[in-house]
Chain A
Amino acid sequence: MNGILQILAIIGVGLRTLRERLGASLATVFGVAGVVAVFVGVLSIGEGFRAAMRPAGADDMAMVMRTGNDSEMMSGLSRESTEIVKQAPGVARAGASPVASAELFVVIDLPKRSTGTEANVPLRGVQPTALAVRGSGMRIVEGRMLAPGTNEVIVGRAASREFSGLDLGAVNRWGKSSWKVVGIFDAGGTVAETEIWADVAVLQPAYNRGSFFQSVRARLDSPASFARFKDALTTDPRLDVQVQRESDYLASQSTLLSQIINGLGSIIAILMGIGAVFGAINTMYSAVASRTREIATLRAIGFGRVPVVVSVLAESLLLAAFGGAVGAGLAYLAFNGYQAATINFQSFSQVAFAFAVTPSLLARGIFYALVMGLIGGLFPAIRAARLPIATALREL
């Protein structure tokens, strides 16, 4: 009990004299805040990207493509195969017809609005059921769905925002044909919003694909039907296909970019953390140095070593926590919802997404700040406890 009172008393003294060490203390707060802001900021890129690759309803949507391909752009399925896939057990039905869409996935070069430079924009050929397959995750927000058999396209909200020529009503010449934008769709900020959709039957001849498709997307009548659906297709001797949940496919498509962002993010965070710890140690050493006489006086009038150690640590933790909170707040204000677009090397096409500063990221940022404060305060705290009282009292 006495120990706790002593600790509180010393912390009180330390905090009241904090103002005299304001400059150095602010430098620590500033340093830690910077580290946490960057740490949270960089990781929010990865979080945002992952969120974009996790659309609602993707668990009960199956994605079928040829075996051995790791992305749909490389896949190839004949019309017969796609028909067999659609009739498989487990596919949801609207009336008599299966809720499934055979699709083609290509990229076209369109200039980015921000820089004017060309970017690979995904162009997906779909069948009329495509919207129903996506379920609640996607809806037309402006204009209307494209009419089958025409050169009409609908574009995702993000695609319309990021790339030139994708405004509602615009007519674009891509390759040999002209395409009119008749609708804009929303996919909850997920990857599909970067896509342009056209009628697959019109796209096939325009891209010399004959009657070939690349994938079939099917809505399952329940998430549990996936195993049945998959078994039926993989054991069918007429087919050479692999079956995945849409969510798993998208997760596999994001590994490379996540790897880059997380790899670079952790290097940055670790190095910055080390830098900030050095800064914090310096600050706390000078804090201890400037309080030498004060600490020695406390020891002389009967305060123990432990309360001294704890009080220095507490001060350092407090500064770090404050810095961490400021940094996390700054990161939230600066990065949350920030719209960005980059190329996903795996699908060879652009993905637009919003940075996401999640509560768990904020918590990790503040935790990281506390670790920095703890390490930064430890050595100076030990030095403070070891001060020989007699000489310390004499010190200027």
Chain B
Amino acid sequence: MKYLHLLFSNLRRRKARTIFTLLSIAVAFVLFSYLAAIRTAFAMGIEVAGSDRLLTINKVSIIMPLPIADMSKIAATPGVKEVTHASWFGAVYQDSSKGFQGVSQFPVVPEEYLRMYPEFKLPPEQLQAWLADRQGAIVGEKTAERFGWKIGDRIPLQAAWTQKNGSRTWEFNLRGIYTGDAKGVDTTQFLFRYDFFDEARARGQGNVGWYIMRVADPAQADKVANRVDALFENSAAETETSTEKAFMQSFAKQTGDIGAMITAILSAVFFTILLVAGNTMAQSVRERISELAVLKTLGFPNGLVMALVLGESCLIAILGGGLGLLLGSWLVSLGDPTGGALPIFYFPARQVALGAALVLLLGLLTGALPAVQALRLRIVDALRRV
């Protein structure tokens, strides 16, 4: 500890250089924070996907419906603990140019759906209010915040579905606002009652979009999936069942090259900035090689001189990297830079830890070469150098 003073005076030597090196490292780690958040966003919630949940969709495409009659057959399949369903609604709020982008809207069976997704937290009295109102709906806190909705609001949506009365404006009463029990939970969904939806729509009665089921044993998930698909083989609507995780992964893969490109570019940038900053740090030690020789002349042992060099580079890395990670998490928490286009956008704790590890690694690597030089330094040679 008593050498900390020495380290800091070394850093103060060329204030401008130290500050700008610190800042470049900080910028690199701000980028790193965004990189982590963007990767999470493109993975579309895989991190929180339940491993015991399966999804059954129409084999042709998820836009094709499945009959509601399938539900009892699925429920009776060995290995299936419980099952529920949801459907696609595809409505716009207010004018379509503003869009309802990133907000999924599903008609669901309230209690079943919330039991299937325990990560959605809804206060019991709000659930009661929802159950008491056929036109009731609940929404995630992120969407509620975005549109400034409060419980009790009447929300008109322009849907693709026509009602029996010929209107395509569906009105809902907001009965609850759900929250997520973890950061990665999608709190943008708009959920309303399937019984109301199915009765009111002009066409398509008795169909649902997809089934969600919980399996008793996640290890048996593949077997259960095969069993479910076998039920409907050669029926009018053949099915395709996969784990929620696999489903999301395959959907996330649809963004294909774009997600991959952006993460590749960001990673390249991150390492480039670190390379340049690291080079500056190493150079500043090289410039002071004769001073190290003086320290040795004064009787500092080799190990200590090496530790001082390493300590200095680690100090810069930790100060800069720490600043960057703090700034990055703050910026990411402000929201995504695309204005609400990415429903899930946060800096996962595991990535923060990875960032911290990279900070240390940066300090050690940039200090390593000069440190070894310092260790091997022959005083006479070094002092002779100008």
The reply to whether chain A is a binding partner of chain B is yes
Indicate whether A266 reaches chain B with its CB closer than 8 angstroms.
Answer: yes
The answer on a CB contact under 8 Å between B338 and A38 is: no
Q: Does B205 contact A (CB under 8 A)?
A: no
Nearest CB of chain A from residue B17's CB, rounded to whole Å:
6
Min CB gap B121→A, angstroms: 27
Is B380's CB within 8 Å of the partner chain A? no
Whether, in the assembled complex, B215 has its beta carbon less than 8 Å from a beta carbon of chain A, the answer is: no
B338 engages A264 (CB within 8 Å): yes
Distance, CA A75 to CA B96, complexed state (A): 13
- In the bound assembly, the distance between CA atoms of A163 and B275 in angstroms comes to 39
Residues from 250 to 268 in B contacting A, C-beta threshold 8 Å = 250, 253-259, 261-262, 265-266, 268
Q: Which residue in B24, B254, B256, B268 is a CB contact (below 8 Å) of A279?
A: B24
Q: Does B162 contact A (CB under 8 A)?
A: yes
B90 within 8 A of A: yes
B160 at the interface (CB under 8 A from A): yes
Q: What are the residues of chain A within 8 A of B30 when measuring CB–CB?
A: 271
The one of A34, A117, A260, A272 in contact with B31, judged by C-beta atoms closer than 8 angstroms, is A272
A70: Cβ under 8 A from any B Cβ: yes
Residues of chain B from 121 to 178 with CB closer than 8 A to chain A in the complex: 158, 160, 162, 168
Give Cα A69 to B90, complex, Å: 9
Q: Contact between A69 and B96 (Cβ–Cβ < 8 Å)?
A: yes
B373 at interface, CB cutoff 8 A: no
Q: Mark A55-67, 1 if CB is under 8 A from B, else 0.
A: 0000000000000
* Chain B positions within 8 Å of A27 at CB level: 276, 279
Give the residues in chain B near A357, CB-CB below 8 Å: none
Interface-located stretch among B60-68, B179-187, B297-305: B60-68
Q: Cβ of B54 < 8 Å from any Cβ of A?
A: no
Question: CB within 8 A of B268: which of A38, A118, A266?
Answer: A38
Quick one: given A275-B27, A278-B24, A281-B20, are A256 and B101 in contact (CB under 8 Å)? Answer: yes
Pair B256/A263 contact, Cβ less than 8 Å: no
Smallest CB separation, B370 vs chain A (Å): 15
How distant is the Cα of A260 from the Cα of B158 in the complex, in angstroms? 24
Within 8 A of B (CB), among A340-396: 340-343, 345-346, 348, 350, 379, 396
A38 and B254 contacting across the interface, CB-CB below 8 Å = no
**Distance between B170 CB and nearest chain A CB, rounded to angstroms:** 11
Query: A285 at interface (Cβ–Cβ under 8 A)?
Result: yes
Which of B97, B240, B255, B259 is most buried by chain A, counting CB atoms within 10 A of its CB?
B255
Interface residues of A (CB under 8 A from B): 24, 27, 30-31, 34, 38, 41-42, 45, 68-70, 73-76, 106-109, 112, 114-115, 117-120, 174-176, 207, 252, 255-257, 259-264, 266-268, 271-272, 274-275, 278-279, 281-282, 285-286, 340-343, 345-346, 348, 350, 379, 396
Top-10 shortest CB links A-B:
A263-B338, A74-B160, A340-B257, A70-B96, A343-B254, A275-B27, A342-B258, A68-B158, A278-B24, A263-B337
Cross-chain pairs A/B with CB under 8 angstroms, 28 sampled: A31-B276, A34-B269, A38-B269, A73-B160, A106-B61, A106-B63, A107-B61, A120-B61, A175-B64, A207-B64, A259-B339, A260-B338, A260-B341, A262-B338, A263-B337, A263-B341, A268-B269, A271-B27, A275-B28, A275-B273, A278-B24, A279-B277, A282-B17, A340-B261, A342-B254, A342-B256, A345-B102, A346-B101
